Amino acid sequence: MMTGITPINPMIPGLGLVPPPPPTEVAVVKEIIHCKSCTLFPQNPNLPPPSTRERPPGCKTVFVGGLPENATEEIIQEVFEQCGDITAIRKSKKNFCHIRFAEEFMVDKAIYLSGYRMRLGSSTDKKDSGRLHVDFAQARDDFYEWECKQRMRAREERHRRKLEEDRLRPPSPPAIMHYSEHEAALLAEKLKDDSKFSEAITVLLSWIERGEVNRRSANQFYSMVQSANSHVRRLMNEKATHEQEMEEAKENFKNALTGILTQFEQIVAVFNASTRQKAWDHFSKAQRKNIDIWRKHSEELRNAQSEQLMGIRREEEMEMSDDENCDSPTKKMRVDESALAAQAYALKEENDSLRWQLDAYRNEVELLKQEKEQLFRTEDHLTKDQQLQFLQQTMQGMQQQLLTIQEELNNKKSELEQAKEEQSHTQALLKVLQEQEINVLTVALVNQDRENNIEKRTQGLKSEKEALLIGIISTFLHVHPFGANIEYLWSYMQQLDSKISANEIEMLLMRLPRMFKQEFTGVGATLEKRWKLCAFEGIKTT
């Protein structure tokens, strides 16, 4: 059983003795409420709930009717003070009263008691019992407080909107003072200060537009205008520093892009090495597929990076060509050696593809010329000129090919002669070794022959630089088992010595036939000369 009503906010569900008004579709089960002086019995749940009027705005007062005749103000306060703090009770001589609470939510708790039968003590007298009817009451004090709250909220809203508008409103420009000699002297000092120049130049412009310049103040204004002119030099210096910072940033970006491109080249080289038969046969089908996809993706990225880098260099060349007053022409000759080395392989592939396309175009041109000759036989003089030009071009190409073949034949002949001389020399040595019977003499002869061979080999080298070049070329060709052409060798050697020429390298290779040999690959226009390292083969044969 319950001994009273706890004064708790009914707006919080699940708390307090008197719960908030439930939904209409849920049946309310009320219980008996015991107080010190009286007892409250709930009405029959089958009966309809008691009706209430429309709630007035800001209602804090309730009308309580059906009170027992013997109910006193103290008993009423004892019952309803458990709904909340009571500020006033106005009891009538008849069986009703008005109760005003401190807060609005307390009225909901009091409405919950509507329909209860109130019995004073244990008496059964009619004067000691009555059915309570609690309803909203329209009081002027409640309506006045509600209006005051509404006006206060409106004032707060207006204040908040004003603060927001003031925050979003752009600041008004500062007021410009009137011209005086003292203010002009201060302004002249501000014009010399970089931090206050923008503010001071605005004031100077306003004074000039106002018409403050006259014969008396002309000199002072002239000095201020001169100070404004001197600020131009500072602005140009500042611009130059910013441009220098931008150039340094561009250079850093270009260097970083070059490093990325070299790494892409190394990655593509790894994929190309993996696709060779030596390693390709050991991978599974799925692994080969993934490697092929990765290789294509890396080549696309490499080409994109290369195009971006070439675009940056093209822009730099255009800027350098447009600048006629450039005092540093050496900037035009700056070429990043690492980038050239990284793009060498890509340029070689592009050169091969362009060469093949050129051959295809030549064939198509020949076919078109033949068809044109058949269709326009009437124009004999034109066709003859075209045929002569075509024959001249073909003759020039054949002459160039014959010259290259003749040079190669001469080189081969010299190599054969040297080989014959070496063979005859070795045969003579064998005969001498067979005739000799004493081991000491044979060893001496062998040592003497070795010394002679070393002297002959060293006679071919003119300086220490040539020996160093031979060592570097041997190492480079040993890494390239399929050989390399003279242009590829020259591009590699030029990174080490920029003064060396391709003709000098080729002459050095031709002087050492036992260490380097020359082979021809390709057919027709794709004919190419490649040099290979044959020193290890010579050692095996000897």
Mean pLDDT of the chain: 80
What's residue 384's pLDDT? 72
One domain, residues 55 and 152: yes
Q: Give helix 218-274 / helix 285-322 axis angle, nearest 10°.
A: 150
Average pLDDT over residues 229-243: 89
Average pLDDT over residues 89-101: 92
- Taking 3-state DSSP, the helix, strand and coil percentages for the chain, each rounded to the nearest 5, stand at 65, 10, 30
Highest mean pLDDT among 4-8, 93-97, 320-324: 93-97
One domain, residues 53 and 104: yes
Cβ atoms of residues 191 and 228 within 8 Å = yes
One domain, residues 37 and 158: yes
What's residue 458's pLDDT? 45
CATH at 115: 3.30.70.330
**Which stretches of 331-375 are DSSP H helices?**
337-375
What's residue 133's pLDDT? 93
One domain, residues 117 and 226: no
**Cα–Cα distance list, 78 to 70, 96, 128, 299, 346 (Å):** 14, 16, 16, 93, 101
At position 497, the amino acid (one-letter code) is D
Q: Which of 7-16, 137-146, 206-215, 404-413 has the lowest mean pLDDT?
A: 7-16
Nearest Cα neighbor of 445 from 369, 217, 437 is: 437
In a domain, residue 393? The reply is: no
What percentage of the chain reaches a pLDDT higher than 90? 18
What percentage of the chain reaches a pLDDT higher than 70? 80
3-state secondary structure (DSSP) of residue 408: helix
3-state secondary structure (DSSP) of residue 396: helix
Nearest Cα neighbor of 339 from 257, 419, 452 is: 257
One domain, residues 139 and 239: no
At 453, the pLDDT band (50, 70, 90 cuts) reads low
What's residue 12's pLDDT? 39
Listed residues 217, 242, 257: the one ending a domain: 257
In a domain, residue 432? The reply is: no
One domain, residues 46 and 136: yes
- Give the tens place of pLDDT for each residue, 155-173: 999 999 999 998 888 887 7
Q: Which of 243-257, 438-452, 513-527 has the lowest mean pLDDT?
A: 438-452
The tokens describing 499, both together, are 């003064």
Listed residues 217, 234, 257: the one ending a domain: 257
One domain, residues 39 and 157: yes
pLDDT at 271 over 70: yes
In a domain, residue 406? The reply is: no
pLDDT at 378 over 90: no
One domain, residues 55 and 139: yes
Highest mean pLDDT among 230-239, 315-324, 339-348: 230-239
In a domain, residue 193? The reply is: yes
- Give the tens place of pLDDT for each residue, 21-40: 554 445 567 888 888 889 89
Distance CA 98, CA 139 (A): 10
- Give the tens place of pLDDT for each residue, 300-328: 888 888 888 888 877 777 766 665 555 44
Cβ atoms of residues 261 and 244 within 8 Å = no
One domain, residues 212 and 140: no
In a domain, residue 145? The reply is: yes
Q: Which of 238-242, 317-321, 459-463, 466-470 has the lowest mean pLDDT?
A: 459-463
- The domain total for the chain is 3
At 4, the pLDDT band (50, 70, 90 cuts) reads very low
One domain, residues 52 and 126: yes
Pick the more confident residue, 405 or 434. 405
What's residue 353's pLDDT? 66
Listed residues 205, 225, 257: the one ending a domain: 257
Distance CA 542, CA 537 (A): 9
Distance CA 317, CA 333 (A): 10
Cβ atoms of residues 259 and 341 within 8 Å = no
Domain span at 226 = 181-257
In a domain, residue 460? The reply is: no
One domain, residues 41 and 111: yes
Radius of gyration (C-alpha) of the chain in whole angstroms: 55
In a domain, residue 383? The reply is: no
What's residue 147's pLDDT? 94
Highest mean pLDDT among 31-35, 114-118, 460-464: 114-118
> Is the entire prediction scored with pTM above 0.85?
no
Sort 146 into a burial class: Cβ within 10 Å, 0-12 / 13-18 / 19+: middle
Sort 160 into a burial class: Cβ within 10 Å, 0-12 / 13-18 / 19+: exposed
Highest mean pLDDT among 90-94, 142-146, 282-286, 380-384: 142-146
Q: How many CA atoms lie within 13 A of 244 on its CB side?
A: 6
One domain, residues 91 and 185: no
Average pLDDT over residues 495-501: 81
What's residue 64's pLDDT? 95
In a domain, residue 126? The reply is: yes
Cβ atoms of residues 385 and 395 within 8 Å = no
Pick the more confident residue, 210 or 21. 210
